[in-house]
A and B are shown apart, each in its own frame.
Chain A
Amino acid sequence: MNVVVNGLMTNYLKVGSGRRVIILLHGWGDSSATFADFGRRLAKNYTVLTVDLPGFGATQEPPRPWGVDDYANFVVTWLNKIGQKDVYALIGHSNGGAIAISMLGRKLIKSKKLILIASSGIRDIYKMRRVILRSGATIARLPLKILPKRTRNRIKRRAYEAIGSDYMMMPELDASFRRLVNQDMQETATHIDTPTLIIYGSADDTTPLKYGQLFKDAINQSRLEVIEGAGHMIHQEKAEKVAALSKDFLNA
């Protein structure tokens, strides 16, 4: 379904018919389609709403680089626009988790439950590593400039892949991405008073388990579940397990 939110053509989906409404928020470089399997499992008991965030899937790009809070404001505006007042639960994967934290930590909406799946939003662990890499990148970029654009992009992509960055996935949104990775959500998370389930995979390189522990410390009523051997796309890799954990938590 389409709706215009703040001038942006926005694509969203509504599935299921339960009385309780759950919002799913996808990660960076992803789209609402990421929840195909997971969302369908939840839709058996709940009404599931999910949106392509601006710049991803079938939603228009934001007019300027956006940070986490901008995305959070967008989600709230979207919910108002489609007349969705009551939200039972927010579920966010990766950057979608950071957005959910921003929404609840800043009290933009009320939700009875929160589930963070391999959420991003912790920036300081690798801060030193990033600072070093960034200055390295600036120096390394200089000689790259003389290469043809295609070769340059290929080398850049390889380098960013090597350091585990999503940076090159959406080259047109890189300014937004740089804003996102500079924002830490821990302080915001301490304002959350919603019961929260935190799910991480033990083999996640993108948002390591350590992030989960930090969020668990930050959020009062939270519980951390670890899925052994699972990576970052945990809701796809272990859809059944993640859905079962989520349902138990939501039904409780």
Chain B
Amino acid sequence: MRTVAIIFGGRSTEHDVSIITAIASVIKPLELAKQYKVEAVYIAKDGSWYWDDKLKDIQLYQSGEIDEFMRRAAKVHLLFDNGLTLVKSSQFAGRKMYKKIDIVFPAMHGTHGEDGELMGLLEMANVPYVGCDFRASTVAMDKVLAKQVTQASGIKSPSYIWFRSDQLSKPNEPLNRIKDLKYPLFVKPAHLGSSIGISRVEKESELMNALEVAVHYDDKVIIEEAVPNLIEVTLPIMGNDELRPALLEHPLTKPKDFFDFDTKYIGGGKKGGSKGKKGAQGYSEIPAKLPKELYDKAEKTALDVYRALGCSGIARVDLLIDNKAGEVYFNEVNPLPGGLYAHNWRKAGVSNVDLVTKLVTLAEQKWQAKQKLTTSFSTSYLKQF
């Protein structure tokens, strides 16, 4: 039986989301598949690595007992032996425990994980891993690079400009370039996932505050025109060479300029006073109700994006549709969608168990194909020295 290690948590704002993705959408279905030995590798917020079966229990994190666990548990060492082996000291007289990993399933979101850093490490270890490789991940998690690469393949994006945060110390130059754009605009940190640090700007007087917010989070900022008559859709896709799209999904969130108490918070309040209703987020239309022609156009655009960025395994492509003009624009790519977007795959006829086993198989296929490439050969270079 081969061993799959799920790596999750990490030094990211999406640390907690990653725990849920790992336990509910990866570990549980992989164990149900009964084809693999499943190992949980947890990266704490401080960057320490732990490996233990106890880490598979969501209760550990919910109850806060994870702090106690981390105080007692031995940290894990990684051994690169043309593959990856987990090493930790056991509680018995410091004997070392070894576990050779056959496949890694990264389940991390955001910085230091989804952005290619972890994949680079796994690439060095020469171990098969699920999902996009480090090149695709790095490009995908930079909104500017992703637009530049897809544009070179003829895929449309809303008009945008970008600049580095240090350019804001002399704001005239970037502000002049922004003058070429049509309001309303969106100001976004280039590297951050989810909607953190994003502002919608209606007029020039609001611009500086929005830029300040974006540079608070990131050293690279993108400013883009809002798409009129907007329908936002997203499409999870899996595959290496042969691609399989799930269903086009239309998240039913309220428009970004509609501010409501519910959209930002669900529950909260002190002394259990606030009941909190379920917010608008979390509901979506699957498949999106679009005219057949527009649906197909959007699906094709998403597949084109996936190929242009060199994605493999799985990714989710977000698109912006101008409903009146029938125009489809590329927005961004998530190399590791939260919860793998299993809810969408289920509607597309792929169960959670099928999804994770398929992804593991794709990882192995990609790795095998790579082994055929020549990366080193003997030379007489040293002898000639």
Contact = CB atoms under 8 A, between A and B. Distances in A.
A13 B259 contact: yes
A110 to B, nearest CB: 23
Interface stretch (B84-92, B170-178, B266-274): B266-274
B265 interface: yes
B270 A27 contact: yes
Interface stretch (A31-39, A65-73, A243-251): A31-39
Contact of A3 (B67, B209, B265, B274): B209
B271 A39 contact: no
B273 A34 contact: yes
A2 B199 contact: yes
A190 interface: no
A2 B269 CA distance: 20
B261 A233 contact: no
B205 interface: yes
A216 to B, nearest CB: 25
B197 interface: yes
A31 B213 CA distance: 20
> How many interface residues does chain A have, given as a range?
20 to 34
Given A1-B259, A2-B197, A83 B205 contact: yes
Contacts of B267: 33
A236 B261 contact: no
B262 interface: yes
B18 to A, nearest CB: 20
B268 A150 contact: no
A32 B264 CA distance: 10
A172 to B, nearest CB: 14
A11 B260 contact: no
B201 to A, nearest CB: 11
Interface string B208-244: 0100110011000000000000000000000000000
B213 A2 contact: yes
B184 interface: no
A58 B261 contact: no
Contacts of B273: 34, 233, 236-237
Contacts of B213: 2-4, 9
B216 A236 contact: no
Interface string A1-45: 111100001010111000000000001111111111001100000
B270 A33 contact: no
Interface string B6-43: 00000000000000000000000000000000000000
Contacts of A169: 270
B270 A3 contact: no
Which of B216, B260, B261, B274 gathers most chain A CB within 10 Å? Answer: B261
B196 to A, nearest CB: 9
Contacts of A11: 264
B68 interface: yes
A169 B68 CA distance: 20
A82 B209 contact: yes
A9 B209 CA distance: 11
B276 interface: yes
A247 to B, nearest CB: 18
Those 10 A-B pairs whose CB atoms lie nearest each other, nearest first? A233-B273, A33-B265, A36-B261, A33-B268, A4-B212, A29-B270, A236-B273, A30-B270, A2-B213, A34-B269
26 contacts: A2-B199, A3-B209, A4-B213, A4-B216, A9-B213, A11-B264, A28-B270, A31-B265, A31-B269, A33-B264, A33-B267, A33-B268, A33-B269, A34-B274, A35-B261, A36-B274, A57-B268, A58-B264, A81-B209, A82-B209, A150-B68, A166-B270, A233-B271, A233-B273, A236-B274, A237-B273
